[in-house]
Amino acid sequence: MHNRPTNKNGGESAAPDLSALSRFRRAYRGLLRKREQEQRALWHFQYFELQMIRSQDLQSLLQLLLREAPGYFKLGGTKLQLYDPDGTVCEIFTESLGTLPDNLVFTGEGHELQALFPAGIKVRMLEPGEELISGETVAQTSTGAVVLLPLVRQGTLVGCLQLAGTAESGFQSPDAEDRLVHFSALVAICIENCSNRERLRLHSLIDALTGVRNRRGFEESLDKEVARAKRTGLPLTAMFVDLDHFKRVNDKYGHPCGDRVLVEIVRNIGEVLRPTDMLSRYGGEEFVALLPACDDGQAKSIARRINLSVAALDLFDDTGELFHLSCSVGYSSWLDPALPGVDAPTVAQHLIGQADKAVYRAKQAGRDRARYLPL
């Protein structure tokens, strides 16, 4: 015979409510699972944010935001829009990236960004099919919301990061908005830091007097253009321009006048070159231009126009006395970049070497002319 549990007064104790205990255990396990899910989501965001903080340049940062984020957060896509009233931000990004991705856009109109946040500068979530008030288009999805993250620096709206969600993105969770607010602030800071770092790097590549690239900047451009020519198979020309008897200008009119002459001649040569060509100051009165997608025939025409343009340029000293200068041009062209087995650094070295020899030959032949040497 089994003994029943008794209370302290000797009576039988009530049996425990097993169904209530089971419900409590299930509820407790559910809370634990929810807490674990929230913690994993937090760690997920924090890991991505850590990768952004570690990004040292625009290329790696945009790789994260525009290419890796959709897969990482199970998004339908991302789009970055930045305020750029004078085009300098676009110029910095173009210098850093070369080709801008389709989901990176710039706007010079501040009201276009403001219109994205009619209820104030805060995270905005659009339900599937909801349209924006402004004319801006957003990649809508049928399975998830589109989140607009305002990018704010020093109280000013400087951009917007659009996240096209899916059913698995988790934007509707109770604490998602807090994470997104933190995330958008960090994105703005990282973009600003990488842009400033890139701006400083670009400044170190610019000649302070003429505003074109210096020798270090030219060498960086040369590596990129040789790699681009090899990739596209299009010809590449290097062209040296050396001012004839420039020392006489400094000796006769003084160095301040010589500096003004250099600035004026750089402007003059820049008007002859194509928008895709890159002019650099190689040293002293010697300049070098890289001409992408330019063969020897095209280069010959450009070289001759530079000769004529510089010779026709009216220059004046401090007293208003008129004088003229001429220049010698030497160039060489890489005509077959698509040939296999070509070492890019070797090509770059020989291309510059041949163009340098060509300008020397132009001077030997009497100056004020152009000479070509094949690669």
Catalytic residue annotation? 285
* Per-residue three-class SS string for the chain: CCCCCECCCCCECCCCCHHHHHHHHHHHHHHHHHHHHHHHHHHHHHHHHHHHHHCCCHHHHHHHHHHHHHHHHCCCEEEEEEECCCCHHHHHHHHHHCCCCCCEEEECCHHHHHCCCCCCCCCEEECCCCCCCCCCCCCCCCCCCEEEEEEEECCEEEEEEEEECCCCCCCCCCCHHHHHHHHHHHHHHHHHHHHHHHHHHHHCCECCCCCCECHHHHHHHHHHHHHHHHHHCCCEEEEEEEECCHHHHHHHHCHHHHHHHHHHHHHHHHHHCCCCCEEEEEECCEEEEEEECCCHHHHHHHHHHHHHHHHCCCEECCCCCEECCCEEEEEEEECCCCCCCCCHHHHHHHHHHHHHHHHHHHHHCCCCCEEECCC
Question: HSE (CB half, 13 Å, CA atoms) of 276?
Answer: 9
The whole-angstrom separation of Cα 34 and Cα 224 is: 51
Question: HSE (CB half, 13 Å, CA atoms) of 2?
Answer: 3
The whole-angstrom separation of Cα 199 and Cα 91 is: 10
Sign of CA dihedral 214, 217, 219, 224: negative
The whole-angstrom separation of Cα 167 and Cα 241 is: 61
Question: HSE (CB half, 13 Å, CA atoms) of 339?
Answer: 10
